[in-house]
Amino acid sequence: MGRGKVELKRIENQTSRQVTFSKRRTGLLKKAFELSILCDAEVALLIFSPSGKAYQFASHDIDRTILRYKNEVGLSKSTNDQGFRATEVRRFEIEDMTRTIDELEARDKHFAGEDISTLGMKELKQLERQLRIGVERIRSKKRCIISEHINWLKRRHKILHEENIHLQKQVRLHELREGEGSSTILDSDASFELISKG
């Protein structure tokens, strides 16, 4: 019975990923060696591990093989070497960004409780600890926001209270002024009436 089809996707468990890398790297180097012997092919192979460690195989001098490749595809050393290096730098940056995005997306899924079947006990405990820390930060932030809102309400209440007192004073002052005006009018009318009778 043949082996089932293996889904090609990034291995989330770091230990499993490292073990798989070591096995696949050894197999790939062996295949490159066999290809160079069986087919008399000029083979050069470069591998960089996730941690940045370099592995290589070359059936001939690797610098000569790389130079031959660049000449073959039109990347002559004198004219396009700088452009080639810049392209390689961009490619490595893109690959690094892709790995970072994959890791962040995987972490986001883990925080949501998804795709955790590949995690071991150590990773699960670490995830649980991170979630507890996250919950505590959320609670602390909520307390801070509520406290700030309460303080704002108190300040607003004080301002409105002071404005209300000021308005009441203005109303009383206005009423007093109107009362004084009415008394003056009444006094004038009474005086006029006495003069008329006299």
Q: What is the CATH number of the domain that holds 51?
A: 3.40.1810.10
Let me know if residue 85 belongs to a domain. Answer: no
DSSP output for 92-141: HHHHHHHHHHHHHHHHHHHHTT-S-TT--HHHHHHHHHHHHHHHHHHHHH
Q: Quickly state the pLDDT bin for 1 (edges 50, 70, 90).
A: very low
Cβ contact 66:84 at 8 Å: no
Q: So what's the pLDDT on residue 64? A: 86
Give the list of residues 6+ apart from residue 146 with CB closer than 8 angstroms, or none.
Answer: none
Task: Determine the structural domain holding residue 38 and report its residue range.
Answer: 11-73
For the stretch 162-189, pLDDT in tens is 888 888 888 888 878 877 665 555 555 5
d(CA 73, CA 138): 56
Let me know if residue 136 belongs to a domain. Answer: no
Mean pLDDT lowest for which of 20-24, 68-72, 102-106, 125-129? 102-106
Q: Count structural domains, the chain.
A: 1
Q: So what's the pLDDT on residue 182? A: 57
Phi and psi based region of residue 88 (left: phi greater than 0; alpha: psi -120 to 50; beta: remaining): alpha
**How many other β-carbons are positioned within 10 Å of the β-carbon of residue 110?**
20
What six digits make up the tokens of 4? Answer: 């089932």
Residue 77 has pLDDT above 60, yes or no: no
For the stretch 90-148, pLDDT in tens is 777 788 787 878 777 777 776 666 667 777 788 878 878 888 887 788 888 888 888 88
